[in-house]
Amino acid sequence: MAAVFLVTLYEYSPLFYITVVFVCFLVTSGLVLGGCCRPAIQLLSLSKEGTDFGLEITLLSLPGITLTPDCLEDCVLTCYWGCNVQKLHEALQKHVYCFRISTPQALEDALYDQYLYRQQYFIHKNDKEEKYCQLPEDAQVVDFGPVPRLCYPLIALLTLADEEDREIYDIISMVAVIHVPDESYRLSCRILYQYLLLAQGQYHDLKQLFMSANSPTPPSRGTSPDERSTDRSLLEKAGLAEDEPELHEENSKDCVVCQNGTVNWVLLPCRHTCLCDGCIKYFQQCPMCRQFVQESFPLCSKKDPRTFAYSNKERS
Ligand SMILES: [Zn+2]
Ligand SMILES: [Zn+2]
């Protein structure tokens, strides 16, 4: 039918025929490209859609570690020592497809209980109470084997304690993968990965921001002076950037360009956080590494003081 129409059209006017075919080509390519090229990085505002899960390593006192959770609702902190690496990543994939990880039991089922030891704490909302977790002596674990490892030293899972809250919030749990130094691998204690799990099945991989240097932010107590100097630009977790006003004032850093304004803009893809509200508009390239800026977003916007960024793993 369409072929007959095109042949008739060509016989009638070749020029008009070529124009029609060309327009059809443009429309089709527009549809195809528009459908495939979704941005890999999405910005999300937490304050409307999610509860807030914060987790900090506050003290390393081997063989244990002190964690300080900070949640806007009552939560449960579950720590899994010696959790199988592959099983954890399979569990995250299961969350994407059907098996939502909204409770500790759900994670344990998804992991097929492939961990050594479990500890659990109840966390009252807004109560930044320190929790000490440690493998018990009778677990008889000296280290977690040579690298590359088959299991992570510690996984911390934060889930909403109240069933009703799980219906309300989009972000239903947070998984942090924590390295704890031991005999066979002495890398300093740190959060290796942090994932926010959403009720609809996606998860976001939280990335660190690279703040401009000479910052007064105190390094974590588990870090040696050598590592401190190499790591000093790796400063704040995106999700932990928000603090009480006084602390924020003390931690505020100067813009690398005007040396006056408070650093507020994160540049992507390099994640350098080095420009103030006034200077951001003058830069198409990052002033620190010269990479072209594809996207940028503010840490605190005037309308919404809590804007966070996620690198969104693209899924079809
Ligand atoms: Zn500036
Ligand atoms: Zn940069």
pLDDT per position as a tens digit, 77-89: 999 999 999 999 9
The position carrying tokens 């919030």 is 169
How many angstroms does the Cα of residue 12 sit away from the middle of ligand 2?
A: 58
Which ligand ends up closest to the CA of 264? 1
Helices 2-12 and 14-36, packing angle to 10 deg = 140
> What tokens does 103 get?
């409770």
CA of 254 to the centre of ligand 1 (A): 8
Q: Which of 144, 148, 151 is nearest to 184 (CA)?
A: 144
pLDDT tens digits, one per residue of 191-232: 999 999 999 998 999 888 888 765 444 433 333 434 433 333
Give 95 Cα–ligand 2 centroid separation in angstroms: 33
Domain 208-225+245-316, second-level architecture: 2-Layer Sandwich (3.30)
What is the distance in angstroms between the CA of the first residue and the CA of the last residue of the chain? 34
Res. 142: pLDDT tops 50: yes
Measured in Å, residue 198 CA sits from the centre of ligand 2 at: 30
Q: What are φ and ψ of residue 123, in 5° steps? A: -115, 115
* Domain assignments of the chain as residue spans, ordered by start: 2-36, 53-137+144-206, 208-225+245-316
Q: How many Cα neighbours within 13 Å face the side chain of 29?
A: 5
Question: Looking at residue 12, what is its pLDDT?
Answer: 62
State pLDDT tens for residues 277-316. Answer: 999 999 999 999 999 999 999 988 765 444 444 443 433 3
Specify which residues 179 forms β-bridges with: 190
Predicted pLDDT of residue 40? 29
* C-alpha separations of 242 from 18, 53, 129, 200, 245 in Å: 58, 12, 18, 26, 9
| 114-136 residue pLDDT tens | 999 999 999 998 888 889 988 88
Rounded-to-integer distance, Cα 189 and Cα 210, Å: 19
Please give the Cα distance from 198 to 22 (Å, whole number): 43
Q: Could you tell me the CA-to-CA distances from 94 to 48, 200, 277 in Å, in that order? A: 26, 12, 41
Does residue 139 register a pLDDT over 80? no
Between 3 and 278, the more confident residue is: 278
State the ligand closest to the CA atom of 263: 1
95 class by beta-carbon count within 10 Å (0-12 exposed, 13-18 middle, 19+ buried): buried
What's the confidence (pLDDT) of residue 36?
A: 35
Question: pTM score > 0.85 for this model?
Answer: no
